[in-house]
Amino acid sequence: MWSELRDLTDAIDVGTPPRSGEMVSLTIDGQPVRVPRGSSVMLAAAKAGCGIPKLCATDTLEPFGSCRLCLVEVEGMRGYPASCTTLVADGMTVRTQSEALSRVRKGVLELYLSDFPAGDVPDGWSEFHQALQQCGVTSHPYGEGMGHQQAAVDESNPYFLFDQAKCIVCNRCVRACEEIQGTFALTISGRGFDSKVSPGQDQPFFESDCVSCGACVQTCPTQALVEKSLFPEGYARA
């Protein structure tokens, strides 16, 4: 179904849900593209073949705009708006690549990387690792400081585990639990650096209202939530 709605090849994740209605014409990186009104700039860029790096966005969930990685330049608009939450308009001119955007995206990813297990960066296979490769980020300039690398792995659920050290608090799992499953078993507790994904009342997954539907695992971009079947000999953080 999603492939048909996207009208794209290879089942590309266009970042935000497809819309229907009157067509709008705009230009992205010099290429004309037409998409339905109400579509995001991110979706239009995907249709134009201009892949914008993203972490919190996926086309099975409504746009959220929290990761700040999908920033673009829009002619006549100040700053760098998030392409997932910016709607297309007739005559809009968008740039998805520039030196300034590269610097901003690299800075964002370096901040995420500063609190991510260093041993899990080489040869990674998650969306997060794909974004690192896309933006050419292999290390970060920050020294050791506060981090979540000593957080315990929650293996209470029989089907999947949650490694908080790999969580970037993008909210995708929380949103999937609400928008796809309708269970509302997950939330973000704490503020600032102490923010974290919490099942129920900060309980282990198996003791919460989680119904093990797998929506959170499927949508996690960093493999902080991952199926246990991938680790037949047991999970060990690299």
What residues of the chain score a pLDDT lower than 70?
1-11
Q: Give the tokens for residue 137.
A: 């980020």
Where a domain ends, among 127, 145, 163? 145
Residues 129 and 170 in one domain: no
What pLDDT score does 12 carry?
Answer: 82
Does residue 236 form part of some domain?
A: no
Domain count, the chain: 2
The separation between the first and the last C-alpha atoms of the chain, rounded to the nearest angstrom, is 37
pTM confidence score: 0.90
- Quote the pLDDT of residue 16: 97
pLDDT number for residue 10 = 52
Q: How many residues does the chain have?
A: 238
Residue 137 in any domain: the answer is yes
Q: Are residues 131 and 170 in the same domain?
A: no
In this structure, the answer to whether residues 167 and 140 fall within a common structural domain is: no
Do 126 and 184 reside in the same domain of the chain? no
Pick from 145, 161, 191: which residue ends a domain? 145
88 within some domain = yes
Q: Of 79, 123, 93, 91, which Cα lies nearest the Cα of 223?
A: 123
Residue 2's pLDDT is what?
33
Residue with tokens 């293996």: 155
Q: Answer whether residue 35 is part of any domain.
A: yes
Q: How far is residue 80 from each of residues 70, 85, 90, 98, 105, measured CA to CA in Å?
A: 9, 12, 19, 11, 11
- Per residue, what are the HEC states of 36-99? ECCCEHHHHHHHCCCCCCCCCCCCCCCCCCCCCCCECEECCCCCCCECCCCECCCCCEEECCCH
| 132 & 86 share domain | yes
Structure tokens that stand for 51 in this block: 């892949």
The 10s digit of each residue's pLDDT in 138-149 is 889 998 778 899
CA distance 130 to 238: 18
